[in-house]
Amino acid sequence: MLVPFHDKAERAHASRNRTSMSCLPSTTLAAGPPLHRAFDEVSIEGPKKSDGSEFKKGPKGWAMSFIYLGILWMFGFLFTALIMHILLIQLEERPHYFGRGSHIGGIPGLIFEPNPNRFDVGTKGVIQFQSAIPQSYYNYMVRYGLVLDGEYNNTQLSKPKCANIAGASDGAPTNRSVCSVEAGSSELYGACALTRRNIDRGMGFSSGEPCIMLRLTRMLGWFPDDYTVSKVFDDLKIILLS
């Protein structure tokens, strides 16, 4: 049988390939060496940019990566500083202590006790009595008793003395939101001291000189001066004469 020349060449080439494939050692099919080579290739790769491209390998590539990251961090810092500057220039010169949206949630107020009709719009600011008729000021004494028992004799309310709070005497803000005034001190308020004994005696209503308690609400960072009876009358004389 006659075989063309090119067919002989192809068969000879295929025969050599089969011979070379059969001579390969079986250990070349193991996965160990190729994985080690791949790990080595990854470990020596230099840092990459954000778009996936690589820097040059070696010290120069690492230096360029740090410069690149430094520029990014610098822009981030400048942007943050700009935002903080905008927020700071929008601040008011003084803190917003009261009103809607403030810490106390309202405005400071002034109320007085005894005020049993505080919920009646027509008579909440009116005190009417006759010193010779105890029944005319009986409701005021009841109100004083409720204030005494509910706020000043209530052991469940752990309020520190206002005079014992650091910085309270000079009006400095403190970390205490509520403090207890010594309303029952006879040395400070005399016959108007809020005690059960004075309430039974009429709190000045029986003698025509009623004791009125002024109460300030929603006051932050302020502490009133202690007034004695003589000092109060001296200040009133100055006001009347002026």
Give residue 224's identity as a one-letter amino acid code. Answer: P
What pLDDT is attached to residue 78? 96
Longest CA pairwise span in the chain (Å):
154
What pLDDT is attached to residue 110? 78
Give one word for 157, left, alpha or beta, with left for phi > 0 and alpha for psi -120 to 50.
beta
| H or E, element range at 158 | none
Q: Read off the DSSP letter of residue 98.
A: S
Whole-prediction pTM value?
0.43
What pLDDT is attached to residue 227? 62
- Which residues are CB-neighbours of 192 under 8 A, at least 6 positions away? 198, 203, 204, 211, 213, 229
- For residues 130 and 126, what is the distance between their CA atoms, to the nearest angstrom? 14
Q: Read off the DSSP letter of residue 180.
A: B
Pairing mode, if any, of strands 109-113 and 213-217? antiparallel
What proportion of the chain, given as a percentage, has pLDDT over 90? 17
What pLDDT is attached to residue 224? 61
The answer to whether 188 and 150 are in contact (CB under 8 A) is no
Task: Return per-residue pLDDT of the chain as tens, 242 residues.
Answer: 444 444 544 555 545 554 444 444 444 444 445 544 544 444 455 556 667 666 666 787 788 888 989 999 999 999 999 999 999 888 877 666 666 666 666 677 778 888 877 666 667 778 888 989 999 999 899 999 988 887 776 555 555 556 554 444 444 444 444 566 678 888 878 888 889 999 999 999 999 889 988 877 766 666 666 666 666 666 555 555 54
What pLDDT is attached to residue 159? 56
- Whether the ω angle into residue 210 lies within 30 degrees of 0, i.e. cis, is no
- Which residues are CB-neighbours of 174 under 8 A, at least 6 positions away? 165, 166, 167, 168, 221
The answer to whether 98 and 108 are in contact (CB under 8 A) is yes
